A and B are shown apart, each in its own frame.
Chain A
C-alpha cells in the first residue's frame, strides 16, 4: 500500500515539476480563463439588470472550458515525448499512474480557479470567496479531474485528439455542472449550504462513482 502511494506521488511530482519549469498548462489555462471572463462581461453587459446575476454560470463555464484545455495536455505531452510508453513499462499498478495524473490535473485546475475567483470578484463585484463556495468548487473539480483525466487518455490515442475531448467530456459532466451552478446560485442568494444538501450529495456521489469506475477501467485505456 505504501508503495502504491509512492508511485502516485512520483507521477504527481513529475507532472508538477514539469509544470513549474515550463508553465505551459497554467499560462494557457489562466489566460484563456481571463479572456473568457472578459468576453462574458461584454456578452452580458447591457442585456441584464445586474451582472452579478450571471456569475454562477460564468464561473462554472469558465472553469469547464479552461479545465478542458489543461486536461487535454495531460496525456498529449506524454504521448508526444514518447514518455507515456516509458511510464507504462514501469512495473507498477497502472491505476497509480491514473491517480498521479488525476491529482496533477486537479491541482492545475484548482490553481486556475484560485486565479479566476479574485478576477470575478473584481469584474462582476460579487463576494465569491466564501468557505461553502470553495468547498463546492473543490468537490466539483475533483469529479471534473476524475472523468477528465481518463477521457484525456482516451482522446490522446485517437485521430482527433484534443478536439474530441470536450465532445466526450461535457455530456458526462453535465450533472456536475448543473449541481455546481445551482448550489452557487443558492449560496450567492444567501442560502446556507445545508439547504443544498441534496446537491452536495449528488456531487460527492458523482466524484466517488467515477473515481471508482476510472480506477477499474484505466488499465483498458492504456493497454497496448
Chain B
C-alpha cells in the first residue's frame, strides 16, 4: 500500500505546518499597531480568515476544472475530484464567513454588512449548497455526475460577476494585498500571514487527497453491493 504511506506523510506534513502556522499567528507575529487598542487581538484572525477564504476559492476552482474534465472525458475520477473539492470548499467557506463576522463585530461594530467580499462568500456558500442539493436529488450516478458538472461550471463562472457587481454597489472591506492601502501588513506579520496561507494550502491538498481516497472506497463498496445484490 504505497499510496497510504504517502498519504501518511502528507497528513503529518499538513499537521506540522498548521501547528507552526498557529504558533506564528498567535505568538510570534507582532501586535498590529495601525488599529485601535481594542481590536488588536481580533486582528489576528487575518491569519486564519484570509487563508480560509483563499482555500474556498481554490476548492471552487478545482471543482470547476474537474467538472470540465469530467464532461470531456466521462471519467468518474473527475467527478470524485469535483465533489470532494466542493465538500472541503463548503467547510472553508463557512469558516471564512463566520470568522469574518466575528472580526467585524469589534472592527466595524456590526456582525454583518453587505460588503462585496462577505456577500460574495455567502453566495459561494449558497452555490455549494445548491450543488449538493442537485446531486442529492438525482439517483442515477452518471446523470448525477453530468448535471453536477454542468452546474459547477455555471456556478463558478458567476462568482466573479457577483463579486464585481457588489463591489460596484459599495465597499468597506480592507484590501490586504494592495500595498498602497494603509491596512498593509507589517514585516513580522507578513511572514506569519504567508506561512499561514502556505499551511492552509497544504491542509487543503491533504484533505482533498484523503477525501478522494474515501470516495474511491465508497465507489468500491457500491460496486460490491451491486454485485452481491445482483447474484
Contact = CB atoms under 8 A, between A and B. Distances in A.
Interface in B141-186: 143, 146-147, 149-151, 153-155, 157-158, 161-162, 164-166, 168-169
Contacts of B164: 175, 202
B150 A150 contact: yes
Nearest to A214: B154
Contact of A199 (B153, B157, B162, B168): B168
Contacts of B147: 154, 157-158, 220-221
Contacts of B126: 171
Contacts of B150: 150, 154, 217, 220-221
A39 to B, nearest CB: 24
A199 B161 CA distance: 11
Interface residues of A, number: 31
Interface stretch (B16-24, B129-137, B191-199, B220-228): B129-137
Contact of B146 (A167, A173, A220): A220
Interface in A106-158: 147, 150-151, 154, 157-158
A167 B161 contact: no
B157 A175 contact: no
Interface string B119-133: 000010011011001
Nearest to A221: B150
Contacts of B155: 171-172
Contacts of A182: 165, 168-169
A15 to B, nearest CB: 22
B137 A202 contact: no
B71 A217 contact: yes
Contacts of B153: 213, 217
Contacts of B37: none
Interface residues of B, number: 29
A38 interface: no
B138 interface: yes
B38 interface: no
Contacts of B162: 174-175, 178
B150 to A, nearest CB: 5
Contacts of A213: 153-154, 157
Contacts of B129: 167
Interface of B: 71, 123, 126-127, 129-130, 133-134, 137-139, 143, 146-147, 149-151, 153-155, 157-158, 161-162, 164-166, 168-169
18 contacts: A150-B154, A158-B137, A159-B137, A164-B133, A164-B137, A167-B129, A167-B130, A168-B130, A168-B151, A173-B158, A175-B165, A178-B162, A178-B165, A182-B168, A202-B164, A210-B154, A210-B157, A217-B154
Interface of A: 147, 150-151, 154, 157-160, 164, 167-168, 171-175, 178-179, 182, 198-199, 202, 205-206, 209-210, 213, 217, 220-221, 223
Given A171-B126, A199-B165, A220-B149, 14 more contacts: A147-B154, A154-B150, A157-B147, A158-B134, A172-B155, A175-B158, A175-B161, A178-B162, A202-B161, A213-B154, A217-B71, A217-B153, A220-B146, A223-B146
